[in-house]
Amino acid sequence: MNIGILGLGYVGIVNVACFSKLGHKVYCTDVKNFKVDQVKAGKSPIVEPEIDQLLHEGLSKGLIIATSDPGEVVKNAELLIVCVGTPSKPNGEVNTSYIHNAVVEIARFLNPGDKKFIAFRSTVPPGTTEAICNHYLSGFADVTALFFPEFLREGSAVKDFFEYGRCVIGCDSHSQIQRLAEVLHVCKEAPLFITDLKTAEYSKYIDNSFHALKVVFANEIFGLANDLGVNVEDAHKIFTADNKLNISSRYFRPGMPFGGSCLPKDVREVQHLLNKSDRSFSILNNLIPSNEQYINRLYEQIVSTGKKKITLIGLTFKNYSDDLRESPVLKLLNSLLELGIDDISIWDEDLNMETVRIDFAHLYLKVKTFEEAMRHGELVVVSKRYLDMVLKNRNHSQVILNFSDKQYSQEAGITNLFG
C-alpha cells in the first residue's frame, strides 16, 4: 500500500522505517525541512536503534520518498498517518494545534471524490479525532478517519512496532476496516481490537496513567521497604514473580470499592508505617481516602434516586464469600439506615444467616428470598454476580443500579457504577 506519513519525530520516523521494511511505499514529510533532508540522506532525525539501517534499506529499494511537499504525500498515499506532536499547554491541557494544521494541510490537497484513510497516531483526548474531522473533512465523503494509538517505547521502538501487546484501531465507520487492519496490525499473534474512535483515543491514556502509577507506586512501596530494613531486591523479585494476582489483570477492574478483612486492615497498617518514614507517599496515603470517597459516591447515587423502598442484591464483600467484614455494601446499608431509609430488603445467597442473626441482628429480618426481595424495591442495587438474574426478574418500573463489575449493555435500562 502507498502510505503517507506526516511528522518525522520519534513516532513518525519509526513508522516510516518499519512500514517500508514491510514492503509498503512510504511518502513522508515534516514542516521542518532539515528532518526531510536527513531522511533523504538515510539519517534518522532521532537516536533510536535500527532506524538508520532500515532507512538505508528503504531508500535503496525506492520505498521511502521524503519530501517537503505535503501535497506529494497526500496525492500519492491511500493511507495517511498523522504523527505530529501533541505537547502540553502551560495549563496541562494537550495542544492539538499541530494536528489541526496537519489536517488543514491534508484537506488542501484532497479532491472531493478521493478515497483515503487518515490514521491518527498522535495521542489526543477522546472526541478530538471526530471533532477535527467534522470540522475540516466533512466535504470528503470517502475519507475515513481512524485512531491508531502508538504503543512504542523510545529506545526499543522498532522492536515494539513489530511486537506489541495488542493492536487498537478506532473507527466510527467500519467499511473496509478489515482490509486496513491487515496493513496496520503487523504482529498477527497479538490480539486486535477494533473499537470506536473515543475508546481508541482513551486507551492510550489508560496505558500511560497506569504506567505512571506503577512507577510511583513502586518508588513508594519499595522506598518504605528500604526504610523498614527490608531487602528491596528480594522484595521486588517476590512481588513481580506472582503473575497470578500481582502482575496480572486480577483486581484491575472497575467495580465495587475494596473491602473485606484484609485489604482495608493491611492498607491501614501500611499507612501507619508510612508515618515513621520521612518520605512522602501520595499514592499509598490516598488509598483508603480514595476508596472511602468512592463508597460515598455510590451512597450519593442511591440517595439521589429519591427511592425509599430499596432492595440490595449482594451484601458480602465479594462473590462466593460470606465475609461481611468491611463490606462496602454493608457500609452503604448502614449509611442508609442512619439517614432513616430503612424500608430495605436484602438477598445474597452467600450470606451465612447464623452470622447475620448473631453479629448483624438489626439486618436479620431484612434478609428475604430472592423473589420477595425483588418484589420489594423501587430501587434495586446489584453489587455482585447477580445482574442477569435481576434483569430477568425485574419489573420495569424498578430503577436498577448496577455496582457489579459485570459488563452490561446500555440498552438494558440500568444505571451503572459511574452514574
Residues that bind ligand NAD (CB under 6 A): 6-12, 29-32, 35, 83-86, 98, 101-102, 105, 121-123, 150, 152, 154
Report the residue number, 11 or 390, with the smaller CB distance to ligand NAD.
11
The residue type of 385 is: R
Least distance (Å) between residue 292 CB and ligand NAD: 34
Least distance (Å) between residue 54 CB and ligand NAD: 16
Query: What is the rounded distance in angstroms from the CA atom of residue 255 to the CA atom of residue 110?
Result: 46
Least distance (Å) between residue 37 CB and ligand NAD: 13
Q: How far is CA 196 from the centre of its chain?
A: 13
The residue among 192, 85, 89, 172 whose CA lies nearest residue 126 is 172
CB–CB of 369/377 below 8 Å?
no
Report the residue number, 20 or 123, with the smaller CB distance to ligand NAD.
123
Report the residue number, 137 or 224, with the smaller CB distance to ligand NAD.
137
Report the residue number, 205 or 408, with the smaller CB distance to ligand NAD.
205
Least distance (Å) between residue 166 CB and ligand NAD: 15
Catalytic option among 83, 133, 187, 262: 262
Least distance (Å) between residue 74 CB and ligand NAD: 11
Least distance (Å) between residue 139 CB and ligand NAD: 20
DSSP string, 267-319: HHHHHHHHTTSSS--HHHHTHHHHHHHHHHHHHHHHHHT---EEEEE--SSST
CB–CB of 150/121 below 8 Å?
yes
Least distance (Å) between residue 265 CB and ligand NAD: 40
CB–CB of 26/63 below 8 Å?
yes
Report the residue number, 120 or 140, with the smaller CB distance to ligand NAD.
120
Give 216's contacts (C-beta < 8 A, 6+ positions apart). 282, 283
Dihedral sign of CA atoms 393, 396, 398, 401 in order: positive
Cell of 314: 449482594
The residue among 336, 310, 306, 316 whose CA lies nearest residue 386 is 316
CB–CB of 63/102 below 8 Å?
no
Q: How far is CA 403 from the centre of its chain?
A: 19
Question: Annotated catalytic, 187?
Answer: no
Report the residue number, 50 or 378, with the smaller CB distance to ligand NAD.
50
Report the residue number, 30 or 348, with the smaller CB distance to ligand NAD.
30
Q: 3-class SS at 42?
A: coil
Cell of 352: 451465612
Query: What is the rounded distance in angstroms from the CA atom of residue 210 to the CA atom of residue 207?
Result: 5
The residue among 297, 283, 211, 284 whose CA lies nearest residue 254 is 297
CB–CB of 296/339 below 8 Å?
no
Q: What positions carry a catalytic annotation?
A: 262
